[in-house]
Structure 1
Amino acid sequence: MGHDLEGREVFIAGASSGMGRAIAIAAARAGAALILLGRNKAGLDITATLAREAAPGCSIRTLVADASDATALAEATAGTDLSQVDTLVNSVGTNIPERAFDQLTTESWQQMIDSNLTAAFNLSKIFLPLMRARENGLIIHIASTAARKPDKSGAAYQATKAGVLSLTHALMEEEWQNGIRATAILPGMTDTPLLDRRPTPVTPEARASALRPEDVAAACLFVLRLPPRAHVAELHIGPSQR
């Protein structure tokens, strides 16, 4: 669709790899200016390089911070003008190999809450006041089909992704009159580094039939391209071969 996002500024958290990286490349190719946030500087630099190769001349800034740490996130964003960001895409998330409920500890449970849910909260807290001031904004949180349909992804993963989904709906209910929209994208199994954290290795056949990060990026770009009058509450996307 060419450079139809030209003039838009998109903040992508979790941009060091996987879905966040694919979304960054797709948004750059569509003409958006980018601010990329991630914990892994090397991975973030690779994402920025790939996005620039896909869209020479694209404005890209990178910020290194853990979005689950409110203080670190505030410090990382303090010197950056975020007032023109019209879209927040939160692709922060993790899982652990010891994911069954009887394997969870207090520490691993808290780790999952911090990475998957608190990061979504911290990012939303930063951008909501700015979007209210502009009377316009779009927040996209990447959740998971596990938020709606329990599976073997683990109790903490399911609970935290369900929390992200509920948070997204709550933001929409509270903020639509301020011109802010909130969307949750719920991908099924996707071939990202997260697959390598499964307790049982994923078979080549299962990996081959999984979604690609580019598929999730395409779903995200669909939401980004909608006019302000249109709202997608949830977008489910999964592999066609099960």
Structure 2
Amino acid sequence: MIFSNRFKNRNAIITGGASGLGKAVAARIVAEGGNVVLWDQNENLLQAAAVETGAKGVIAVDVSDSEAVNNAVTKSLEFLGKIDVLVNAAGITGATQPVWEFPIDSWLRVMDINLNGLFYCCRSAVPHMLNNNYGRIVNIASVAGKEGNPNASAYSASKAGVIGLTKSLGKELATKNIIVNALTPATFDSPILEQLPQSQVDYMRSKIPMGRLGLIDESVAMVCFMASEECSFTTASVFDTSGGRTTY
């Protein structure tokens, strides 16, 4: 269901915007009257995503590089004029191995993208929101950050960190008209599943009481509520789209 003009005069940065949840959220925000700039590492996918979503602009950026993030915020302001919404959807899964065999380089890369990168994005965007006395930040976490998935320690730990950062930042900004929340989806059909063996996908599906994977539009709807003015009295919190797996 599209809510006409829900994002009228609102401008959003979407990280991980070239595919999956990020791209789908961008398309919904544009359809509801907003403007978006897509960030992603994959420049080729970005160009196609811009056409599909109607984005105002695209920026190829590795969010694990703090200076690149600062530059991308500056360039985004050239496209948008101001920043009202930040959706941090960039993320990778990393290796699928037990802790004692987990490759150190994979651990570090997952932390750099999923947690450090999200921190850099918030750190760079928040001052502009403070100047405008308005902001909505949505951080994409995971049920893995609540429960921990076996053979996915880096991903689980990074997403637990996202939840903790969200709670801290939301409380820091609670009197500033800047709302900060996180989403903890269970597995849904997305390009990120291509990074995982089928056995891992089957395990995650087996943990969902509804007995199915999520639909991307179910998480898009929740993200867009959190990113809108309608979400005005819930901050530093976590919204669940897990089919009953994590109801806390």
TM, length-normalised to structure 1 = 0.88
| 3-state SS in 2 of match to 1:177 | coil
The match for 2:69 among 73, 78, 81 is: 73
Superposition pairs of residues 2-151 of structure 1, within 5 angstroms: 2-52=4-54, 60-81=56-77, 84-151=82-149
Identity of aligned residues (%): 25
Q: Distance in 2 between matches of 1:155 and 1:18?
A: 22
Q: Distance in 2 between matches of 1:46 and 1:226?
A: 29
Q: Tell me, yes or no, if the aligned pair for 1:10 and 1:87 is still in contact at 8 Å.
A: yes
Give the partner amino acid of 1:49.
V
Q: Which residue of 2 aligns with 1:236?
A: 240
Give the partner amino acid of 2:56.
I
Q: 1:16 to 1:225 in 2, by over 3 A?
A: same
Deviations 1:64-88 (A, max 9, x none): 1111111222233333426521110
Give the partner amino acid of 1:227.
E
| 3-state SS in 2 of match to 1:209 | coil
Give the partner amino acid of 1:128.
V
Q: Distance in 1 between matches of 2:13 and 2:46?
A: 13
| 3-state SS in 2 of match to 1:151 | coil
Deviates more, 1:111-120 or 1:65-74: 65-74
The match for 2:219 among 216, 219, 240 is: 216
Give the partner amino acid of 1:34.
V
Q: Which residue of 2 aligns with 1:56?
A: none
Q: Distance in 2 between matches of 1:229 and 1:79?
A: 28
TM, length-normalised to structure 2 = 0.86
How large is the RMSD of aligned CA atoms in angstroms?
Answer: 2.1
Segments ≥4 residues shifted beyond 4 Å? none
Q: Distance in 2 between matches of 1:25 and 1:6?
A: 14
Q: Which residue of 1 aligns with 2:166?
A: 168
| 3-state SS in 1 of match to 2:26 | helix
Please state how far the C-alpha of 1:192 moved relative to its aligned partner: 0.9
**Matched residue pairs, number?**
233
Q: Distance in 1 between matches of 2:231 and 2:241?
A: 22
